[in-house]
Amino acid sequence: MKKKTLAAVAMAAAGVLALAACGSGSDTEATSAATSAAAGGAEDITLWLMGTDTPDALIDYLKTTYADENGGTLTVEQIAWQDAISSLTTALPDATNTPDVTEVGNTQSATFTTVGAFMDISDMYDELGGDSLLQGFVEAGSVGDTKYALPYYFGSRMVWYRKDLYAAAGVEVPTTLAEYTEVNKAMKDAGIAGSYTAGQDWRSGISWIFANGGDIATFDGSEWAATLESPEAVTGMEMWQDLYTETSVAGPTDNDSTAYQAINDGFLAGTPAASTLAPNWAYWSLGDLSQNDAGETVATWNDDTFGAYALPGLDGGIAPVFAGGSNIAISAATQHEEGAKTLMRIIFSEAYQTMLAENGLGPANLDYADAYTSVAAMGEIGLEAAQGAKLTPAAPGWAAVEEAGLMEEYFQKVAEGGDVASLAAEYDAKIDALING
Amino acid sequence: MRRSIGRGLGAALALVLAVMWVFPVYWMINSSFLSAATISSLKPTFVPFGGTFTNYRNVFTDSGFMAALGMSLIVTAIALVICIAVAFLGALAISRFRFRGRKALVLAIILVQMLPAEAMFIAQYKMISGLGLLNSIAGVSIIYVAMVVPFTMWMLRGFVAGVPADLEEAAMIDGCTRMQAFMRITFPLLAPGLVASGVFAFLQVWNEFALASIILTSDSSQTLPLWLRNFAQPSSLGMIEWGQVMAGSTLVAVPVIVFFLVVQSRMTQGLVGGAVKG
Amino acid sequence: MSTIAPTPAAEAARPVVRRRRRFTSLPYLLGLPAVLTLAVGMGYPLYWQVLNSFREYGLAQQFGQAPTFVGLQNYIDLLTDSGFWTVLLKSIAFMAVTASATMVVGIAVAVLMKHVPGWSRIVLQVGLLLAWAMPIVAQMTVWNWLIDDRNGVFNYLLSLLPGLDLTGHNWLVNPWSFFGVASVIITWASVPFVALSVYAGLTQVSEEVQEAAQLDGAGGFTMLRHIIMPILRPILVILLLLQLIWDLRVYAQIELLQGFGARGSQYDLLGTYIYGLGVGQGHFGVAAAAAMLVMVFTIALSWFYVRELLKEDES
């Protein structure tokens, strides 16, 4: 189902895609000449993509281009995000069944790079974009100077809002973080709308910690240690708690999976949400709802009622947000090194990066961010937000922390009104137990 | 007089209970015929009049459904046949004979059911992968057979013990060979028991999804529960399209309901004949 | 036929065995496929699990580093971890509540079926059968739709009651409510099996014997104790044992419910806890040790019933 709705999105973008593919034709040929010289012969390889974020049109492009350049067949398998860790853990070390190339959540990269699951691709780094690649993600996929996983796409969170509801309550777009709470509180008190501050959505809520100068964990040169207890982080969390209690129309166990379209009409039973934090690709999910021929609900963006702005910082400017997205890497156990490398070259080619950008997925290579800002919806705000974006700790045990759901728990308990300082201490201890692997 | 009032009340209570147990099933079927617009209204619709088949059309056109249905049917059929055969022979051994190691075997099949399976997934993956059977029907069947044999064998044991060996003896005296006696006398008496145990094995295999999610990673080798679990995820619009999801659930449940209806009389016989007799 | 006189049947089997002594290899041949199946399907995983419960086996080992033997360290870590005990006690409590609810409701339904007119019994039987036939994933999906916070029918119906407004109430937030929902769903799903089996047992109680006993002046209690229980007891023992095992190691329902509602350790029972520890966080050694401990606790909790079964098996 999810796949289909995204496919519809991809269809919508297909017209633009075709043009883009023509425009960059010469570039692709150059790549193919380089690879066919290096490749020994046709190799059938497998690419794992996580979830259904990569639209079908892009997958088809990868398949045909790979067949053209290598002669072999590219099989693309979509692994549900919920099965991502278990599938990677079991399949990556298994030479006969490993995917040759795999997408991996950026926050999960560190865990796999530190145990040697991915192939060292430092020698390809410059060829694939080098320093033009989004550096935060490159670091998440590196151990020291050795590059293992490179950025695939990114999305930075921004505030999506309802112009009509803001107008009805007579409030303006906030310019500081404190104002964000005030604006939403004013709407909530007037009974018009609230903010969709989901209790378990730490990926959005973490901005309040970042904005106050706090962090999740720091590295002292030998060990990672959680820092939720720091005064900055506690202040930020208290601010978020205030935002939750005063303005939220979401529940304590809601998470970011529903934040995308929280401000659509009829999404909530009671008071509607007028503001929500979501990545830039939420654009495709927001708007006036209608039924298409297949009986599915589709959203059509409406500039009169919907808008977006970057989350404002503590004293104006923009707040650092969490950079969502994923990395891509070659499995250390691959038997098809050349094929896998060819696929990496295709993925990092201008043509493919441009396609990503046009689908609202931030391109790994910032040289193509122009296309992103000019073509992708809200690209400008997205890029603005991306510049201040931060990642989760690149610690070996970070995936375990995520898999254990510790951050979700911490935020939920704060949302439920718990004492921030003591909860911070409790969860620092829990995170410390896992974060060093 | 008092008795008939009591029976009337009892009947009423039975009907209330029947409604309680059927309601979720009814609601699933009801919702599967409602359009997305009807279903998203805050006021529930209790009867699917003026309903639509769109949801079912969407399920059938979903790329994964037919493949998953085929996969589930094949895996279940294979696992079921092997499991019944193996468990039946095993049940004969432990219920008709006393032999050295019998007690250990009986204890083993009870204890093995108490082992949490969740910690063995990695090892099972390694084993299946080592055999080169990942994403294959054979691979998943091997694990499933081993998973259901202990319980099936335990259940069948009760049935076999329930068929008096005298009958077989008598037939042998009448000139039948041992095999003939068994096939003509004992086997027919065991049929309901085989059906009842088969139902359990069927349900266990048909329902399994945790292990499947690890050893069936390829899109083309999903089983129905895996397919449904992914299908029930919110769309990119974040909404669960309940009409479609319920149509999917209905279709996953239909083979089981059909199976139950087909074997229903035998199964009831089986339960009566001492299905769960110790 | 068999259950009316189970003991003679079992006794009859014994002389037969004596007469067949020369076929001593036959039982082994018959049992061989079962043993082989278990050895092939379970042997290696079980060996791996036992071995690694004594080793440090994490992600690094999964990716090629040599595992180190750590003796009982994994076990000690678990037994001194309050998190493990919390989950264990929660699971036992969950099992106790769910298994007893299932047994009580199941037996009550069976008794009811025995005493109501035929047509209403058939309606009830079909209802139970339909619920029983629901695959777990479908079950959980449907229940999740019933209790959906936005427009689930459950909240709608409850809100019709005066003074109650549950519009938008999410049943899966509060852990008590979460486990309550899980318990109700599992009970709903397990009652058909219990009810139909107990009913099958009750139909074995011969009417004539009951009437004769009544004529002899036997009261309800005497009847229950001397006529009904002897037939029902073995059925109840195995049903209880099964509920105990199934409800203690419940995994699928909790995992699916977490998928619909919320994840987090407060919503964990043993199954999801072990899965998270192993596959999720990559601590395979510790997860293996946890599984072994759970097995030991299950055996301890159910030993009484297992012994009962074995005794019966011997007779």
CATH number at residue A422: 3.40.190.10
Q: Once rounded to an integer, what is the mean pLDDT over residues A13-36?
A: 38
Question: Which of A1, A11, A256 to mutate to probe the B interface, most B CBs <10 Å?
Answer: A1
Interface contact flag, C63 A270, Cβ < 8 Å: no
Domain for residue A392, yes or no?
A: no
Domain range for residue A41? 2-155+323-387
Strands A45-50 and A74-79 turn out to be parallel
Residues in Cβ contact with A251 at an 8 Å cutoff, skipping those fewer than 6 apart: A198, A199, C149, C170, C173
What are the respective helix, strand and coil percentages of chain A, to the nearest 5? 50, 20, 30
- Calculate the average pLDDT of chain B: 84
Measured CA to CA, the distance from residue C11 to residue B136 in angstroms comes to 46
Handedness of CA A233, A235, A238, A239 (dihedral sign): negative
Measured CA to CA, the distance from residue A45 to residue A347 in angstroms comes to 14
Neighboring chain B residues of C312 at a CB cutoff of 8 Å? 278
Interface contact flag, A89 C279, Cβ < 8 Å: yes
Interface contact flag, C142 B108, Cβ < 8 Å: no
Max Cα distance, chain B (Å): 74
Strands A224-226 and A217-219 turn out to be antiparallel
Interface contact flag, C135 B253, Cβ < 8 Å: yes
Residues A44-57 have pLDDT tens digits of: 999 999 987 788 89
Measured CA to CA, the distance from residue A393 to residue C314 in angstroms comes to 61
Measured CA to CA, the distance from residue B200 to residue B80 in angstroms comes to 10
Touching partners of B (3+ C-beta pairs < 8 Å): A, C
- Calculate the average pLDDT of chain A: 85
Residues B140-191 have pLDDT tens digits of: 999 999 999 998 998 888 788 777 777 777 777 777 777 787 788 778 888 8
Question: Under a CB-based contact definition with an 8 Å cutoff, are residues B268 and B190 in contact?
Answer: no
What dotted CATH number matches C55-314? 1.10.3720.10
Residue A5, pLDDT score: 41
Q: Once rounded to an integer, what is the mean pLDDT over residues A97-123?
A: 91
Q: Is A400 on the interface with C (CB under 8 A)?
A: yes
Interface contact flag, C117 B119, Cβ < 8 Å: no
**In one letter, which amino acid is A100?**
D
- Same domain? For A113 and A22 the reply is yes
Residues A228-275 have pLDDT tens digits of: 999 999 999 999 999 999 999 998 888 877 667 788 887 777 788 999
Q: Name the strand (E) or helix (H) holding A338.
A: helix A337-347
Q: Coil, strand or helix: which one is A48? A: strand
- Same domain? For A134 and A275 the reply is no
Environment class of residue C57 by beta-carbon count within 10 Å: exposed (0-12), middle (13-18) or buried (19+)? buried
Q: Once rounded to an integer, what is the mean pLDDT over residues B56-81?
A: 91
At residue A2 the predicted structure's pLDDT band, cuts being 50, 70 and 90, is very low
Residue B157 Cα, gap to closest chain C Cα (Å): 10
The DSSP output letter for A366 is G
Q: Give yes or no for residue B245 having a pLDDT over 70.
A: yes
Give, for all 315 residues of chain C, the pLDDT tens digit: 333 333 333 434 444 444 444 557 888 988 999 999 999 888 899 999 999 999 999 888 989 889 999 999 999 999 999 999 999 999 999 999 999 999 999 999 999 998 888 889 989 988 998 998 898 999 999 999 999 887 889 999 998 888 888 877 889 989 999 999 999 999 999 999 899 888 888 887 777 887 888 788 777 788 788 888 888 888 888 889 889 999 998 999 999 999 887 778 889 999 999 998 988 888 899 999 999 999 999 999 889 888 887 887 776
A102 to each of A50, A121, A334, A366, how far by Cα in Å? Answer: 8, 14, 11, 21
**In one letter, which amino acid is C186?**
I
Residues B142-155 have pLDDT tens digits of: 999 999 999 899 88
C183 to each of B144, B223, C264, how far by Cα in Å? Answer: 26, 27, 18
- Taking the CB of residue C238, how many other CB atoms lie within 10 A of it? 22
Touching partners of C (3+ C-beta pairs < 8 Å): A, B
- Same domain? For A106 and A149 the reply is yes
Find the Cα–Cα–Cα–Cα dihedral A84, A90, A96, A102, rounded to 10°.
30
Measured CA to CA, the distance from residue C81 to residue A308 in angstroms comes to 46
Asked if the ipTM is above 0.95, the reply is no
- Calculate the average pLDDT of chain C: 85
Residue C82 Cα, gap to closest chain B Cα (Å): 20
Measured CA to CA, the distance from residue A32 to residue B176 in angstroms comes to 77
By Cβ distance, the residue of C63, C259, C261 closest to A93 is C63
Q: Is B162 on the interface with C (CB under 8 A)?
A: yes
Question: Under a CB-based contact definition with an 8 Å cutoff, are residues A299 and A219 in contact?
Answer: no
According to CATH, where is 1.10.3720.10 located in chain C?
55-314
**In one letter, which amino acid is A194?**
G
Give which of C235, C261, C150 is closest to A254, Cα–Cα: C261
- Provide the residue ranges of all domains of chain B, joining segments of one domain with +: 63-272
Residue B174, pLDDT score: 78
Handedness of CA B30, B35, B39, B42 (dihedral sign): negative
- Give A79's strand partners: A50
Neighboring chain C residues of B166 at a CB cutoff of 8 Å? 12, 16
- The helix/strand count (H/E) of chain B reads as 13, 0
Give which of A202, A403, A107, A162 is closest to A301, Cα–Cα: A162
Higher-scoring residue by pLDDT: A347, A371: A347
Residue C276 Cα, gap to closest chain A Cα (Å): 7
Measured CA to CA, the distance from residue C152 to residue B42 in angstroms comes to 8
Residue B195 Cα, gap to closest chain C Cα (Å): 14
Residue A160 Cα, gap to closest chain B Cα (Å): 14
Neighboring chain C residues of B273 at a CB cutoff of 8 Å? 1-3, 200
Residue A240, pLDDT score: 97
B201 to each of B197, B227, B264, C246, C249, how far by Cα in Å? Answer: 6, 21, 15, 15, 18
Q: Name the strand (E) or helix (H) holding B95.
A: helix B65-96
Interface contact flag, A111 C259, Cβ < 8 Å: no
Residue C267 Cα, gap to closest chain A Cα (Å): 10
- Same domain? For A209 and A219 the reply is yes
Higher-scoring residue by pLDDT: A359, C196: C196
Give which of B202, B168, B165, B200 is closest to B270, Cα–Cα: B200
Question: Under a CB-based contact definition with an 8 Å cutoff, are residues A292 and B54 in contact?
Answer: no
Strands A288-291 and A194-196 turn out to be unpaired
- Same domain? For A139 and A162 the reply is no
Residues in Cβ contact with B57 at an 8 Å cutoff, skipping those fewer than 6 apart: A294
Q: Once rounded to an integer, what is the mean pLDDT over residues B270-276?
A: 52
Interface contact flag, B213 A86, Cβ < 8 Å: yes
Q: Is A395 on the interface with C (CB under 8 A)?
A: no
Is B63-272 a CATH 1.10.3720.10 domain?
yes
At residue A375 the predicted structure's pLDDT band, cuts being 50, 70 and 90, is low
Neighboring chain B residues of A285 at a CB cutoff of 8 Å? 236-238
By Cβ distance, the residue of C263, C279, C281 closest to A408 is C263
Residue A40, pLDDT score: 56
Count of the separate structural domains present in chain A: 2
Q: Give yes or no for residue A75 having a pLDDT over 90.
A: yes
Residues A151-177 have pLDDT tens digits of: 999 887 889 999 999 999 999 999 999
DSSP codes, chain C: -TTTSHHHHHHHHHHHHHHTGGGTHHHHHHHHHHHHHHIIIIIHHHHHHHHHTTEE--HHHHTTPPPEE-TTHHHHHHHT-HHHHHHHHHHHHHHHHHHHHHHHHHHHHHHHHHHS-HHHHHHHHHHHHHHHTS-HHHHHHHHHHHT-TTT-HHHHHHHHSTT---TT--TTSSHHHHHHHHHHHHHHHHHHHHHHHHHHHHTTS-HHHHHHHHHTT--HHHHIIIIIHHHHHHHHHHHHHHHHHHHHS--HHHHHHHHHS--SGGG--HHHHHHIIIIIT--HHHHHHHHHHHHHHHHHHHHHHHHHHHHHHH-
Measured CA to CA, the distance from residue A88 to residue A94 in angstroms comes to 10
Residue A85, pLDDT score: 86
* Both structure tokens of C287: 């997860």
